[in-house]
């Protein structure tokens, strides 16, 4: 069996949340969301975890989040910094934001040589999602015309925040279950049981809530690093001096599909997703985790009972 790795993107700045979501404690025994992700990954069969951080909060993160989990799984760390650019490029002096999720993945190239799963640090994906994506990536891809990556999708209505609008990538899927495109919607919200997306031209699009969306739980083969490097260089040629531009993972995946570099299988799951976008989401996340503990899906203290 091929042994996939788990790559956790934890270098974000949490501007709408108002702090570092990566080190916020939500579980009944003070666990972070990342700890639940690692716990679920270990149960699914993962034995290696790579976490992308910023050096500015690495020490606090390791002390708060990882000290207990280190005893259960092999965890390594890489750093996403503004100056980590291809030769010939320099970050502009007014750049503050990270370069985006696509850039974050590139930071792990030297740590990963197996199939790997990417997740966001502030999203709870549910036990079944890890099992589904682990099983897919563990199978040898013999006889495929092109390589196959994968993506776990969720229903839009189950991924919104009561505290404000969210950005979601709506998946377009063909009849064979392969992704054809991710369409980014930057401003989705619910009002009176109706779902809306405000488009860049300020027009309002009505959605059903049953659209399938990507929450950035994706599976790749090591070849993806080669594609990402080329895409990121192209991105920098156009946007290196734009302090707000970010190199996003869904955009890179769209390009993989459109250039015929790989196919992307969409994996259905019954797992329950929830996440943290705003500070007001904190209570919802804590309540959901408490309910899962009460139902016996997780021990009250993740690491003392494993």
Q: Is residue 203 part of a domain?
A: no
Q: Is residue 97 part of a domain?
A: yes
Per-residue pLDDT at 57: 85
Q: Is residue 194 part of a domain?
A: no
Q: Is residue 68 part of a domain?
A: yes
Q: Which residues of the chain have pLDDT under 50?
A: 18, 306
Q: Mind listing the pLDDT tens digit for each residue in 154-197?
A: 999 988 888 888 989 999 999 999 999 999 998 999 988 899 99
3-class secondary-structure state, position 196: strand
Cα separation, 13 vs 81, in Å, equals 12
CB 118 within 8 A of CB 232: no
Q: Is residue 128 part of a domain?
A: yes
CATH number of the domain bearing residue 57: 3.90.550.10
Residues 6+ apart with CB under 8 A from 120: 8, 9, 12, 101, 215, 216, 217, 275
- Count how many domains the chain has: 1
Residue 207 tokens read as 């959605």
Per-residue pLDDT at 180: 97
The alpha carbons of the chain give a radius of gyration, in whole angstroms, of: 19
Per-residue pLDDT at 15: 54
Range of the domain at 287: 5-153+213-294
Burial of 74 (0-12, 13-18, 19+ CB in 10 A): exposed
Category of 191 on φ-ψ map: left (φ > 0), alpha (ψ -120 to 50) or beta: beta
Residues 6+ apart with CB under 8 A from 305: 299
Q: Is residue 102 part of a domain?
A: yes
DSSP state of 37: H
Residue 191 tokens read as 């009002």
Q: Is residue 40 part of a domain?
A: yes
Q: Is residue 204 part of a domain?
A: no
Is the pTM value of this prediction over 0.85? yes
């Amino acid at each position: 069996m091929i042994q996939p790795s788990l790559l956790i993107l934890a270098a974000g700045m949490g501007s709408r949340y108002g702090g570092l979501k990566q080190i916020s404690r939500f579980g009944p025994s003070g666990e972070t969301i990342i700890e639940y992700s690692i716990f679920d990954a270990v149960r699914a069969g993962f034995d290696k975890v790579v976490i992308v951080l910023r050096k500015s909060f690495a020490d606090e993160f390791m002390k708060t989040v990882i000290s207990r989990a280190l005893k259960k799984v092999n965890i390594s760390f890489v750093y996403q910094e503004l100056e980590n650019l291809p030769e010939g490029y320099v970050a502009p002096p007014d750049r503050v934001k990270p370069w985006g999720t696509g850039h974050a993945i590139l930071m792990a190239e030297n740590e990963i040589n197996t199939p790997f799963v990417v997740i966001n640090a502030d999203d709870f994906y549910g036990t079944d999602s890890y099992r589904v994506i682990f099983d897919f990536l563990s199978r040898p891809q013999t006889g495929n015309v092109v390589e196959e990556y994968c993506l776990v999708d969720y229903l839009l209505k189950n991924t919104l925040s009561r505290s404000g609008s969210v950005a979601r990538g709506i998946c377009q899927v063909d009849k064979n279950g392969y992704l054809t495109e991710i369409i980014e919607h930057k401003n989705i919200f619910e009002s009176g049981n109706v779902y809306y997306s405000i488009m860049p031209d300020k027009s309002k699009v009505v959605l059903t809530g049953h659209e399938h969306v990507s929450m950035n739980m994706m599976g790749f083969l090591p070849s993806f690093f080669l594609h990402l490097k080329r895409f990121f260089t192209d991105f920098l040629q156009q946007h290196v001096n734009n302090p707000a531009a970010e190199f996003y993972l869904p955009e890179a995946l769209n390009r993989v599909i459109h250039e015929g570099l790989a196919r992307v299988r969409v994996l259905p799951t019954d797992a329950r997703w929830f996440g943290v976008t705003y500070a007001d989401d904190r209570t919802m996340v804590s309540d959901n985790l408490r309910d899962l503990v009460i139902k016996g899906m997780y021990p009250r203290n993740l690491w003392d009972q494993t």
